[in-house]
Chains A and B, each alone.
Chain A
């Protein structure tokens, strides 16, 4: 047989077989992977919002709001959304929970980050703090977002808009705060516009 024809046949057969195997495998693993993502999302929402009975999912532009509600109560208990921005080395993704007025943080959770191991990655978990490895994220609970959240170094926060930086990782700490300030402001506008629009439509 002609070499070129053989080359084409062999490569085609290999590619078709590979494609078939991969699409079958994708069919088997996709639901599992999607389920893990959903569980992660639910766990993150539950962690950043006050106790709720169920949450609504509202899409507004590119942002999805997760609105925690209690049964038979009209006012939501809190609103969560995913915040994203650049850190010291790469993207930081967080789940952010706020009271419905967007003025008080109810919690944050770092979902993805590639900050320096041992320094900046303490924004997600700090193994050197044996009593509370999650102290960095937890100190945001109850922090006021207006006029803006600020970072203090080497001392305990005194104002209700302040949080303490991780020593040795000021840039990562500041990055988290910067992302929060920026995204919360935008999210608030987006949420209010969206709600008013929906309200008008319903009324």
Chain B
């Protein structure tokens, strides 16, 4: 693979917009759709994912030369699963309410394509520093979209934001927004909006 001279800031920034895992690559859609019925759930899910993503990227970029090519996926999955279980048990022990709300979606971070995808596409070929920046950028891009989705759905579907009621009694909550179709509608519109903006700026 030809080494391109990519600046460190670009390594971080690409995950936030130009290669945003959700808006541009459509990865990790399962948790994106499932847990964004409120802003707090989106935030907790995003933080847990960033933790797993950054920790796995550090370990895998450190040991990338020692892991034989044939067993790399198995190694990545064990490393990722270990960090996911650490995060899951931590939340269950210290944040039981959020842990209950997220339910099975924390253990399911194991199969989040963003994480395995970054290990395969980036950490296995780059040094620790760049891998951390890449993971942080991708994680930030992920959590941003989760927060936007969670906020929009909570405001329209429950008339509140982070559990604080912000819209008065005049507003009748759109129940559909906190149901699965609300997730698809909001995400679809968000991706459409991002594409429209990118096209206007001339990035495709």
Contacts and interface: CB of A to CB of B under 8 A. Distances in A.
Interface of A: 3, 6-7, 10-11, 14-15, 18, 21-22, 25-26, 28-29, 32-33, 36, 114, 116-119, 127-128
A33 B93 contact: yes
B26 interface: no
B36 to A, nearest CB: 12
B75 A10 contact: yes
Contact of A118 (B74, B81, B93, B175): B175
B131 interface: no
B112 to A, nearest CB: 18
12 contacts: A7-B68, A7-B70, A10-B66, A18-B81, A21-B86, A25-B89, A29-B90, A29-B92, A33-B89, A36-B93, A36-B96, A117-B178
B93 A18 contact: no
A18 B70 contact: no
Given A118-B175, A118-B179, A11 B74 contact: yes
Given A18-B81, A29-B89, A117-B37, A10 B178 contact: no
A106 B59 CA distance: 55
Contacts, number: 60
A197 B15 CA distance: 67
Contacts of B93: 28-29, 32-33, 36
Interface in B160-197: 173, 175, 178-179
Interface string B75-89: 100110110011001
Given A14-B78, A26-B89, A36-B96, A116 B179 contact: yes
Interface string B54-78: 0000000000001110110011001
A127 B167 CA distance: 14
A10 B59 CA distance: 14
Nearest to A168: B175
Nearest to A112: B100
Interface of B: 37, 66-68, 70-71, 74-75, 78-79, 81-82, 85-86, 89-90, 92-94, 96, 103, 157-158, 173, 175, 178-179
A29 B96 CA distance: 12
Given A10-B71, A127-B158, A18 B89 contact: no
A21 B173 CA distance: 45
Given A18-B81, A118-B179, A11 B75 contact: yes
A3 B178 contact: no
B39 to A, nearest CB: 15
Contacts of B158: 127
Given A7-B70, A127-B158, 15 more contacts: A3-B70, A6-B68, A10-B67, A10-B68, A11-B71, A11-B78, A14-B75, A18-B79, A21-B82, A22-B85, A29-B89, A29-B92, A36-B92, A116-B179, A117-B179
A196 B89 CA distance: 43
A114 B37 CA distance: 14
Q: Top 9 nearest A-B pairs by Cβ distance?
A: A32-B93, A29-B93, A118-B175, A18-B82, A29-B89, A36-B96, A7-B71, A7-B68, A117-B178
A25 B84 CA distance: 12
Nearest to B178: A117
